Amino acid sequence: MTMVTAMDDRARRVRARNRALLAVLLALVALFYALAIVRMGG
Amino acid sequence: MAIVSSADLGASRTLDSGTAALGPSVGDFVALLKPRVMSLVVFTGFAGLYLAPGHIHPFLAAVAVLCIAVGAGASGAINMWYDRDIDAVMRRTRNRPLPAGRMAPGEALGFGCVLASASVIIMGLALNWVAAALLAGTIAFYVFVYTVWLKRRTPQNIVIGGAAGAFPPMVGWAAVTGDIGTGALVLFALIFFWTPPHFWALSLYRAGDYAAAGVPMMPVVAGARETKKQMLLYTFLLWPVAVAPAWLGLAGAVYLAAALVLSLSFTLAAIRVWHDEGDGAAKRMFGFSILYLFLLFAALILDRAPGILGTLPGLAGGA
């Protein structure tokens, strides 16, 4: 029972890390897009 | 898994194993960035950006501040990787992700290196390569000169190593101008001379921790009396540096008044530490030192409007 809980916790942490990484990657895409627009506009 | 099945293990050991088995949380990665230190670095970096002559697009200014913040965070992560042995000894740091066993050392090092590289490359591509080189130099200085070389070897560690914390306004300045002006050097000097009394105030009431970890901070090596004398000396050295922006035309009367009042208060705090045999005055001085730097840079920003965001009539200085 407790082992199942520990595995759930581990899966939850891995999921949270993956989502954070996805957010960072999307933010980078948006950053480079906006940078390109601003630099070309300037 | 060792967590729940090993009933013969002690409670704390069980917790440690369990925490390690879960792997680091997102919060642990955020903790590696030393967010509280980062906030002051971001603010002083922004001040350098704001005070520099010239204009850049507000979005590019935001990117520059982001790069400074990420670079500072990367330095913190690499510092925590290197110092994980002494962090485990000190009460203040033993719950950090590495000494607490929540993260593998390699993860912290990799995280720090990736962030350091990304911040420098983006700074170079988005702003200019002078600012990027300065940012790279700041990270390298903090990691190699302060953390690896000085911290465990000399009581002057935070005097020389303090330069790492003084670079951010220079990076911000260079992001706008592409070079290092006199104003940038003054902002650098402000933080450089502020760092010793700030850090020694902390080390006075944490001397036991530093002694246990074998870090030769001034109170450990030279004693509390000598440290207090040096702190007082540095608050006097800070006076001309604090008013220098007004002499150089980087700021006006509002800043000058703020600098005089704040410097007087800082010196009085050091005098109180000198007379205090306990920890109270040192703790109060440490807290005030952070407020001192924040208010000093806030006064600079409020007093001097031209820069990246346009001009407020009547407040323009003459840099």
Q: What is the pLDDT of residues B207-227, one digit of tens each?
A: 999 999 999 999 999 999 999
Is any Cβ of chain B less than 8 angstroms from the Cβ of A15? no
C-beta atoms surrounding B189 within 10 Å: 18
pLDDT band for position B308 (cuts 50, 70, 90): very low
Tell me which chain B residues have a C-beta less than 8 angstroms from the C-beta of A7: 1
| Residue B290, pLDDT above cutoff 60 | yes
Identity of the residue in B24, B25, B59 whose CB atom sits nearest the CB atom of A34 = B59
Which one, of B281, B186, B181, lies nearest residue B243 by Cα?
Answer: B186
List own/partner pairs for A7-12 with CB under 8 A and 24 or more apart.
A7/B1, A9/B22, A10/B21, A10/B22, A10/B23
Identity of the residue in A5, A13, A20 whose CB atom sits nearest the CB atom of B23 = A13
Stated pTM of the model: 0.87
Q: What is the mean pLDDT of residues B56-69?
A: 96
Task: Report whether B224 contacts B210 (CB < 8 A).
Answer: no
Do B21 and A10 make contact, defined as CB atoms within 8 angstroms?
A: yes
Q: What is the pLDDT of residues B120-162, one digit of tens each?
A: 999 999 999 999 999 999 999 999 999 999 999 999 999 998 8
Q: What share of chain B is helix, strand, coil (3-state, %, to 5)?
A: 75, 0, 25
Q: What is the ipTM of this complex?
A: 0.85
Query: What is the rounded distance in angstroms from the CA atom of residue B34 to the CA atom of residue B81?
Result: 12
Task: Report whether B203 contacts B218 (CB < 8 A).
Answer: yes
Structure confidence at residue A9 (pLDDT) = 84
Structure confidence at residue B5 (pLDDT) = 34
Is any Cβ of chain B less than 8 angstroms from the Cβ of A8? no
Chain B nearest C-alpha distance from A10 (Å): 5
Structure confidence at residue B20 (pLDDT) = 64
| Residue whose structure tokens are 């902390």 | B202
Do B22 and A5 make contact, defined as CB atoms within 8 angstroms?
A: no
Q: Mean pLDDT, chain B, as a whole number? A: 89
Q: Which residues of B touch A (CB under 8 A)?
A: 1, 3-5, 18, 21-26, 29, 57, 59-60, 63, 122, 125-126
Task: Report whether B181 contacts B53 (CB < 8 A).
Answer: yes
How many contacts, defined by CB atoms under 8 Å, are there between A and B?
A: 44
Task: Report whether B88 contacts B101 (CB < 8 A).
Answer: no
Tell me which chain A residues have a C-beta less than 8 angstroms from the C-beta of B22: 6, 9-10, 13
Q: What is the pLDDT of residues B10-24, one digit of tens each?
A: 333 334 555 666 789
Q: What is the pLDDT of residues A6-37, one digit of tens each?
A: 778 888 999 999 999 999 999 999 999 999 99
Tell me which chain A residues have a C-beta less than 8 angstroms from the C-beta of B63: 31, 35
